[in-house]
Structure 1
Amino acid sequence: MVDLQNAELDAMIEAEKKQVAFEYHNEAWADGISDGIEAEILAETAISTALTELVRLHGEDEVLELLDGLRQRIEFGEFRSERGLH
């Protein structure tokens, strides 16, 4: 029972951190757009920064597996949205 409660608490904390991170990214994105940086440039640098950090933390093989999963999610349309980032 205690392990389940701890797992639920950990999941809630992780969800909150993800929400705050999402808000930080949206704020940075809006700042970049308002400074005249094109969305494509912002997106490419965000991906490059994220991949560099993930490789540093987890190594190339694990990141390549992650990218394979992302490719499948793209192919299944998970990232299609009417809502743009700007």
Structure 2
Amino acid sequence: MIDMQGTELDEMIAAEKKQVAFEYHSEAWADGFSDGIEAEILAETAISTALTELVRRHGEDEVLQLLDQLRQRIVAGEFIADRTLQ
């Protein structure tokens, strides 16, 4: 029997949920793209939908903090699709 701490199990469940969510988003993205919707429109709509839901659930201040963190990750190059890790 595998002995896992509650935190480890919670992290594994969260990681699995993120993977499934990524697959859902990828499928929706592919469907939209195949229907002729430009990538920029898909991206902007996804961001707007996500921000609306996050503000509704967590409030503006917390979402602004998240956006600051995302900005730092963008500046660090985390979201460059073809970046080379050294």
TM-score by structure 1 length? Answer: 0.90
Alignment of structure 1 residues 59-78 onto 2, 5 Å: 59-78=59-78
Extract unaligned runs of 5+ from structure 1. Answer: none
Q: Say whether residues 1:49 and 2:49 are aligned partners.
A: yes
Q: Give 1:81 shift.
A: 1.1
Q: What is the aligned-residue identity percentage?
A: 81
Number of residue pairs matched?
80
* Larger relative helix fraction: 1
Extract unaligned runs of 5+ from structure 2. Answer: none
Q: Secondary structure at the match of 1:29?
A: helix
Q: Deviations over 1:19-70 (max 9, x none)?
A: 0000000000000000000000000000000000000000000000000010
Q: Give 1:82 shift.
A: 2.2
4+ runs deviating over 2 angstroms: none
Higher RCO (CA 8 Å, separation ≥ 6 residues): 1
Alpha-carbon distance between aligned partners in 1 of 2:63 and 2:69, rounded to the nearest angstrom: 10
